[in-house]
A and B are shown apart, each in its own frame.
Chain A
Amino acid sequence: MSAPAPQAGFKARAAAAIADPTLKIAIDRTTGTAERKRAAAVAAFSEFEAARARGKAIKDHVIAHLDHYLETFERNATAAGAKVHWAASDAEACAIVVRICREADAKLVTRSKSMLGEEIGLPHALADAGIERAETDLAEHIIQLAGERPSHIVWPAMHRTREQVAELFAEGHHPPPTAFDPATMVQSARHELRTKFLSADVGISGANFLVADTGATCTVTNEGNAELTTTPPRVHIVTAGIEKLVPSTAHAFALLRLLVRSATGGELTQYTTFHCGPKRPGDADGPEEMHIVLVDNGRSRMLKDEFREMLRCIRCGACMNHCVVYRQIGGHAYGGVYPGPMGAVLTPVLAGLERSRDLPSACTMNGRCAEVCPVQIPLPTLLRAWRGRSWRERLEPSGLRYGIGLWAAVARRPRLYRFASGAGVRLLRRLGKGGWISRLPLAGGWTGSRDFPKPAGRTFMELYRAEQSGKGGPS
């Protein structure tokens, strides 16, 4: 019921996740639906490939001129009456948000889902400052009740079955839901959160896009919680990564077509909202103050090398929905804020490779993530780049380095390699029953949760030679 212990390593968390049958059911239900709906949305959009190439080009253009667009955005947002703040690190960003909340004498803060907020540790920072925080996205509300972190960037509570949500709402809602089907539980959350929306002092949102030529921030939601978060409180704070810029509203629309189809299989989310400055004179409602915190937190460093391509990410979650590893272990096992393939690339940037070198290795290189990425990020290539860097920085445990060194020594000697693999194959066959091997010395990591396929009687090279000699060699 509680979040995985952060001090436990990736392997321990992954093993625990694989051993949890309820988790597997929960992951399959959501990722399976997401995969089917995305496929249908892409099939119905015959211009998808062209749109994807354009989306990539738009993001690359912005990244190549990031300083220009940041300054343009700052100028236009300021002209619209917003106050723009800059934060080089997560700690700086949290300090700015907490200071604005204190200046507003905030007792209660509502927040609409923002992965950047999670990245900078904003929930903790608000708790430390003694400010009550109400998460308003339904999934974030669920994990707030559970005291957990998000396990997916689009469906943060996807690791929980409806039965588990029912338990949380029965305890956490006043009054508890009258029934425990999803519709009744959603209604219960609607009632529970409505008073929070209307009594909050500060509303905090993220941004899917920062529009340079208008100075507006853009949020997309299906529930309507972002607008209820940003409208009634006296102060609206936006926290956004500096890579969220687009030149204009039209560029944002070109990316929105890709984002929503890739994330949920819809064409647009129910609410696409542009927030441009605070309440205007005479406006019927809206916040008196709007603050925008532009957060770097490692992004300017990524511009320098191959990880620049990762700055294109629009946080749709398609890579994790299609990842064979994510679908086995879920999001919490990754240990960082961002799970799945995009998380395995980003977490080493944010937390350091030394603390996260297992993540780039937890990949089969099947390439599904890159195939579905709406902005063509070469995720397997970037994961391989981390593996290379980890090797060069000698971060692998010595046993692994020694083993790989031994393998490389054998692999460089073809006759020895053929002899060793031939012997290995014959040995493996003796261990198997039927077509499978259920216990394997030195490979308990594999056979602990699944059987190993029993190899064919001869190696590929042996079979190839036999075939060639039978045919009399290639013509």
Chain B
Amino acid sequence: MSARDRILGAIRESLGSTPRDTAAIAAEAAALLADPDAIRPELAGPSLTESFAAKAWGLGTTLDTVADMAEVPAAVSRYLAQYGLGPGLAMQQAPELTGLDWSALAPHDTVAPDEPVALGLARHGIAESGSLVIHSAPDNPILLGFLPLHHILVLERRRMLPHLEDYAALLGREDGIPRNAILITGPSGTTDIEGSYVRGAHGPGFLHVILVGDEE
């Protein structure tokens, strides 16, 4: 007998052999998600953006706001200047980014092991927790968000969601379940040495968000 059969057999023996009603199981599972406001925190601010910003700042994520995508390169330049970084950066090859005017900077399409800065698009922001969502894709290597010291994410304001459940409801609706879906909630950190918090453990030590678009 295979291990699979042995395990499932042992489980069924322990649980007792009740006939399985998958519709009833699904209904019970759905009921466990009812009234989500009763089991999640209220937003930290009066609007999605303010709530997101409050949570993000609290985590050490920095934030800049621009009116439209055309202003993103200037915002990136401002950030690089602030940290005394050169014009080179690894950039996600998404048309929303590659179509911008990068003449003042030197973006490239690969990510080196010691890459100082990377720029990508966030798929969503989550106001409840100050999280940013990225999905793996042909134009979005996961390492882009993990090898660099500085990670800059561009987030369109219309992509902001109130709660984690709102993201779960969208997952798979737009273009299938991605191989990797990652919620990034603040810069990489560790408390493994005596509980003292240190930023930049393995992933980026700096997380910067460029929020695009006017408040609705």
Interface residues of A (CB under 8 A from B): 26, 29-30, 33-34, 44-47, 50-51, 54, 57-58, 61, 64-68, 70-71, 80, 85-88, 92, 136-139, 142, 155, 157-158, 161-162, 165, 182-183, 185-187, 189-190, 193-195, 197-198, 214, 216, 222-225, 227-228, 231-232, 242, 247-251, 253-254, 256-257, 264, 266-280, 282-286, 294, 296, 300-301, 303-304
Contacts and interface: CB of A to CB of B under 8 A. Distances in A.
B191 A162 contact: no
A190 B39 CA distance: 37
A303 B137 contact: no
A301 B180 contact: no
Contact of B190 (A26, A44, A222): A222
Given A182-B194, A186-B193, A186-B198, 9 more contacts: A51-B39, A67-B20, A71-B8, A222-B188, A250-B164, A268-B185, A272-B182, A272-B185, A286-B180
B28 interface: yes
Interface hub of B25, B164, B179, B184 (most chain A Cβ within 10 A)? B179
B200 A186 contact: yes
The 5 closest A-B pairs by CB, nearest first: A224-B203, A284-B141, A303-B14, A223-B201, A300-B10
Contacts of B10: 88, 296, 300-301
Nearest to B163: A253
A228 B203 CA distance: 8
Given A61-B29, A67-B12, A304-B14, A47 B203 contact: no
B5 to A, nearest CB: 9
Contact of B181 (A57, A266, A273): A273
20 contacts: A26-B194, A33-B191, A67-B11, A80-B179, A136-B202, A182-B196, A216-B177, A223-B190, A223-B201, A228-B146, A251-B32, A266-B185, A270-B188, A274-B180, A283-B138, A283-B179, A285-B136, A296-B3, A300-B11, A301-B14
Contact of A271 (B129, B139, B203): B203
Contacts of B178: 276
Interface string B141-167: 111011100000000000000001100
Nearest to A226: B202
Contacts of A253: 164-165, 168
Given A225-B202, A278-B179, A301-B14, A250 B20 contact: no
Nearest to A71: B8
A308 to B, nearest CB: 8
A219 to B, nearest CB: 10
Contacts of B15: 64, 66-67, 303
Contacts of B8: 67, 70-71
A276 B200 contact: no
Contacts of A278: 179
B195 A250 contact: no
Interface string B29-53: 1001100011111100000000000
Interface in B1-30: 2-4, 6-8, 10-12, 14-15, 20, 22, 25, 28-29
Contacts of A194: 113-114, 202
B194 A161 contact: yes
B200 A268 contact: no
A439 B4 CA distance: 57
Nearest to A57: B32
Given A29-B194, A251-B29, A222 B201 contact: yes
A270 B192 contact: no
Nearest to A218: B181
B77 interface: no
B191 A264 contact: yes
Contacts of A247: 29, 32
Contact of A138 (B11, B22, B145, B201): B201
B167 to A, nearest CB: 8
Interface size class of B (residues with CB under 8 A): 35 or more
B183 interface: yes
A224 B146 contact: yes
Given A70-B8, A222-B188, A296-B10, A33 B195 contact: yes
A54 B32 contact: yes
B63 interface: no
A142 B185 contact: no
B42 to A, nearest CB: 8
A250 B39 contact: no
Given A80-B177, A275-B179, A30 B185 contact: no
A273 B180 contact: yes
A198 B139 CA distance: 20
A190 B201 contact: yes
Interface hub of B38, B136, B172 (most chain A Cβ within 10 A)? B136
A274 B136 CA distance: 10
A280 to B, nearest CB: 5
Contacts of A46: 41-42
B140 interface: yes
B7 A300 contact: yes
A137 B40 contact: no
Nearest to A197: B202
A189 B189 CA distance: 13
A186 B190 contact: yes
A165 to B, nearest CB: 5
B194 A162 contact: yes
A232 B143 contact: yes
B125 interface: no
Contacts of B141: 284-285
Contacts of B114: 194
A80 B33 CA distance: 25
Interface string B52-81: 000100010000000000000000000000
B184 A270 contact: yes
Contacts of B41: 44-47, 257, 267
Given A232-B143, A284-B137, A157 B192 contact: yes
A29 B195 contact: yes
A59 B37 CA distance: 19
B98 to A, nearest CB: 14
B100 interface: no
